[in-house]
């Protein structure tokens, strides 16, 4: 096996690992967003978990974050504006990444 082959395999492995971590962080962010939104909606108990999972599922509609944003914006109409939702999305992504990294250590 050549050095080039080794480098190529290492690059592919890193790419796959990074993609896996990104997927996990986005799913975690969406769950955290769902829990936040559920609180704003006055949900409690199992309803919080169910709603959070619906936010996670909404991310599979299309690539990117707009599908999650649309779900939250529609559900939180009158309770949170676009700026608040987008800020919370960024905040929860940072928190999700922090949690994932802590779990890896």
CATH for 3-104 is: 1.10.790.20
pTM of the prediction?
Answer: 0.85
DSSP 80: S
Quickly list H helices, the chain.
3-40, 46-58, 66-75, 82-104
pLDDT tens-digit profile of 6-43?
788 887 878 787 788 899 999 999 999 999 999 999 99
Please provide residue 38's backbone torsions phi and psi, each rounded to the nearest 5 degrees. Answer: -60, -40
d(CA 9, CA 5): 6
DSSP 11: H
Tokens describing residue 77: 């109409």
Closest CA to 75 of 37, 48, 45, 43: 37
């Amino acid at each position: 096996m050549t050095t080039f082959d080794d480098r190529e395999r290492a690059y592919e492995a890193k790419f796959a690992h990074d993609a896996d971590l990104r997927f996990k962080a986005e799913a975690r962010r969406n769950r955290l967003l769902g829990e936040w939104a559920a609180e704003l909606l006055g949900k409690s108990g199992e309803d919080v978990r169910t709603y959070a999972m619906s936010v996670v599922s909404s991310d599979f509609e299309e690539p990117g974050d707009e599908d999650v944003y649309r779900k939250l914006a529609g559900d939180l109409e009158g309770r949170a504006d676009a700026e608040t939702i987008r800020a919370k999305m960024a905040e929860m992504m940072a928190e999700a990444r922090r949690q994932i990294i802590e779990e890896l250590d």
